[in-house]
Amino acid sequence: MKFDLTATDLHSKARAGVITTDHGQIHTPIFMPVGTVATVKGVFHRDLKDEIKAEIILGNTYHLYLRPGLDVLKAAGGLHKFSAWDRPILTDSGGYQVFSLAENRKLTNEGCTFRSHIDGSKHMFTPENVMDIQRVIGADIIMAFDECPPGTATYEYAKKSLDLTQGWLGRCIKRFDETEGLYGYSQTLFPIVQGCVYPDLRRKAAEHAAALDREGYAIGGLAVGEPAEKMYEMIEVVNEILPSTKPRYLMGVGTPVNILEGISRGVDMFDCVMPTRNGRNGMLFTSEGIINIRNLKWRDDFSPIDPNGSAFVDTTYTKAYLRHLFISDEMLGAQIASMHNLAFYLWLVRESRAHILAGDFAQWKEMMVPKLSVRL
């Protein structure tokens, strides 16, 4: 993997660049639709490419390990072939899911034992086998195994957690560097910077990660219960230390406003379930504000879903029709809303990139943030 920094905004830390992988290029800043179980829920890959214009999607190690399982993925030739997606893929380490979904989990220096949320079967994740699992899944960019403490964790817990994560990171790198990919293309390992909401822990984690000189870095453990301003502060602390020549990935974030604030602080890559999860519940993100399509006010609004939208669903269907689908529990409603939201998120990062290249990102962002927060 290679990263070329193209431009930096004059009045913020926002950057535009290009990540090159064996499955294609990724123009940053970028948003990655979340395809937890080998699919972005409710969206065809054709539409991901043509309408949403996704350049990379995310898969989840925990879920894919449990179902369909490594034997199926390996026999298929990896996740790209299994899911018929020929562009880049990133997998997270499964650490967040182990700590948030799994039952009866137990943490030790060796790793984490847990019971599946699906059938209660017992499993163990270690830094070594998580690398092996991600080799089998075959994503272009993979994550180190880490613990993700809650945003409300005490300093003592966060410090102990960071020590564990840093110990695991060394073992992840050792295992990754002594193994090779299984499918004839290269994979890249990103360390994850943890440290909760404590600046000294974040600095320690960022310095430790930067010294390892990997091809890119992830910032984890944010948007997990802490105030937004604290999240922005931690991003600033970390990005002062992480090398400017490498891509920075902010994990699991967030709202359109979060993304613009992250970009302005030097983040290059984002993922979040909000576009699809909120879309399935009738919340639409648009350039003029937020719509709850279930509200009665849209019942006889025959204007397009989003006249400024970039996907065909935005101008083909009306707000009234989409509301009808939701009120009637028709699955097409969730599909339309998901496609719209994903297309909007990808539009937002493309526009951000265009304004970074034009040199006026900071001014554009200040104009956009209030609009994106309005409920229509």
DSSP 8-state code for residue 286: E
Does some domain include residue 47?
yes
- Model confidence pLDDT, tens digit, residues 243-302: 999 999 999 999 999 999 999 999 999 999 999 999 999 999 999 999 999 999 999 999
CA separation, residue 363 to residues 22, 109, 171, 260, 352 (Å): 36, 47, 44, 12, 11
Does some domain include residue 168?
yes
pLDDT value for 212: 97
Residue 80's SS3 state is helix
Does some domain include residue 354?
no
Taking phi first (over 0 means left), then psi (-120 to 50 degrees means alpha), and beta for anything else, what does residue 96 get? alpha
| Containing structural domain, residue 186 | 2-272
Does some domain include residue 318?
no
Q: Which of 92, 140, 268, 306 is labelled catalytic?
A: 92
Does some domain include residue 282?
no
**What CATH number has the domain bearing residue 182?**
3.20.20.105
Does some domain include residue 337?
no
Residue 163 known to be catalytic = no
pLDDT value for 182: 98
Residues of the chain with pLDDT under 70: 102
Extract the runs of DSSP E, i.e. beta strands, from 186-287: 188-190, 192-193, 217-219, 248-250, 269-271, 283-286
Does some domain include residue 299?
no
Q: How many domains does the chain have?
A: 1
| C-alpha to C-alpha distance for 42 and 83, rounded to whole angstroms | 14
**Residue 351 is encoded by which pair of tokens?**
């526009």
**Residue 248 is encoded by which pair of tokens?**
């920075």
Q: Which of 9, 140, 271, 314 is labelled catalytic?
A: 271
DSSP 8-state code for residue 367: H
Does some domain include residue 306?
no
Residue 9 known to be catalytic = no
Closest CA to 34 of 312, 275, 282: 275
| Helix (H), strand (E) at residue 315 | helix 312-316
pTM: 0.97
Write out the binding residues for substrate: 92-96, 146, 194, 221
pLDDT value for 105: 85
